């Protein structure tokens, strides 16, 4: 499938902003199952310069400064991506405990790179209730892929998708207690449970092309990637209870939302502001 995606973030301020410094992580990653055919970035007002770089996790970052006074600021990313479905499910060779023990050894470059995703991070602190929540899914001796799939089913079954009731400031402890939120909350909860059991899990941001039956479609979306030592990273979407397929487009990954925030920055002046985000993802092959 070939998809065209437009992602617009717009700020409106009550008072003029003297100047702002921002950065965006809005460039789709190039992966074995994902090819970037075209990409552009439009910033209004025009920035003094746009500097591109790779961050620690290999995500593309574009940094820029708008130095003229303004009361409205917008950034629009347009991309064309070719996406193929990943290969079938990997073989289930290792239990989750065997995987945990291998990650503790870190006796290879791959395991060492995955180990940094076993620790707590700013939006995913580790606490006792996370282990308790995952006890049924991560039962003794259960293969890692099977255990992770069961955990995904559990979160989807027990959590309620509720866009208006949480924000990025909502602590993970509260999310786990109240069991409601949006895709970033579902993902942070799943990552927290896996890390509390010594497993490597990372946060993935992107887009989901799908119908009304999928939560997070036609918007910024998030899911989870789990490390299998005998295979690599495998994606799970706890918000929709499925393994991401050709309709999931990957932008960036990191420890949690803070590492992959699509647009963030600082402003001088402006006062209160209104934020609007619009995402549109269409199939170029079907014209849908």
pLDDT at 288: 45
Q: What is the mean pLDDT of residues 179-183?
A: 95
Label the pairing between strands 248-254 and 232-236: unpaired
Label the pairing between strands 220-228 and 201-208: antiparallel
Kindly report, as residue ranges, where domains of CATH 3.10.620.30 are found in the chain. Answer: 96-244
pLDDT per position as a tens digit, 84-136: 877 777 777 899 999 999 998 876 777 888 999 999 999 999 999 999 999 99
96-105 vs 144-158: helix axis angle to the nearest 10? 110
| Mean of the per-residue pLDDT values of the chain | 92
Instruction: Write the DSSP symbol of residue 160.
Output: E
CA–CA separation, 169 and 157 (whole Å): 24
CA–CA separation, 4 and 205 (whole Å): 17
Q: What is the mean pLDDT of residues 18-46?
A: 95
Q: What is the mean pLDDT of residues 32-48?
A: 95
pLDDT at 219: 79
End-to-end, the C-alpha distance of the chain in Å comes to 12
CATH code of domain 96-244: 3.10.620.30
Q: What is the gyration radius of the CA atoms in the chain, in angstroms?
A: 20
Task: Give the CATH fold of the 2-84+261-283 domain.
Answer: Immunoglobulin-like (2.60.40)
pLDDT at 90: 76
CA–CA separation, 125 and 23 (whole Å): 25
Comparing 23-27, 54-58, 215-219, the range with the smallest average pLDDT is 215-219
Kindly report, as residue ranges, where domains of CATH 2.60.40.2250 are found in the chain. Answer: 2-84+261-283
């Amino acid at each position: 499938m070939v998809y065209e995606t437009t992602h617009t973030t717009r700020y409106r301020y009550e008072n003029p902003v003297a100047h702002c410094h921002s950065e965006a992580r809005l460039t789709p990653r190039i992966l074995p199952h994902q090819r970037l055919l075209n990409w552009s970035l439009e910033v209004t007002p025009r920035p003094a310069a746009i500097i591109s770089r790779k961050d620690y996790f290999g995500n593309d970052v574009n940094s820029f400064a708008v130095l003229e006074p303004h009361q409205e600021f917008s950034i629009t990313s347009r991309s064309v991506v070719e996406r193929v479905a990943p290969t079938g499910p990997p073989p289930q060779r290792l239990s989750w405990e065997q995987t945990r023990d291998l990650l503790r050894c870190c006796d290879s470059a791959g395991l060492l790179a995955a180990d940094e995703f076993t620790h707590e991070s700013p939006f995913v602190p580790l606490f006792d209730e996370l282990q308790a929540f995952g006890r049924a899914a991560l039962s003794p001796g259960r293969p890692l892929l099977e255990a992770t799939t069961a955990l995904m089913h559990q979160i989807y079954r027990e959590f309620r998708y509720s866009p208006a009731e949480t924000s990025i400031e909502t602590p993970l402890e509260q999310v786990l207690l109240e069991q409601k939120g949006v895709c970033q909350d579902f993902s942070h909860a799943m990552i927290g449970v896996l890390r509390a059991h010594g497993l490597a899990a990372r946060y993935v941001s992107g887009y989901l092309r799908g119908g009304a039956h999928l939560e997070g479609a036609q918007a910024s979306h998030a899911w989870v990637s789990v490390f299998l030592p005998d295979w690599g990273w495998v994606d799970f979407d706890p918000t929709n209870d499925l393994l991401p397929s050709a309709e999931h487009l990957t932008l960036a990954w990191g420890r949690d939302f803070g590492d992959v925030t699509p647009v963030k920055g600082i402003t001088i002046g402006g006062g209160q502001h209104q934020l609007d985000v619009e995402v549109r993802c269409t199939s170029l092959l079907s014209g849908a």
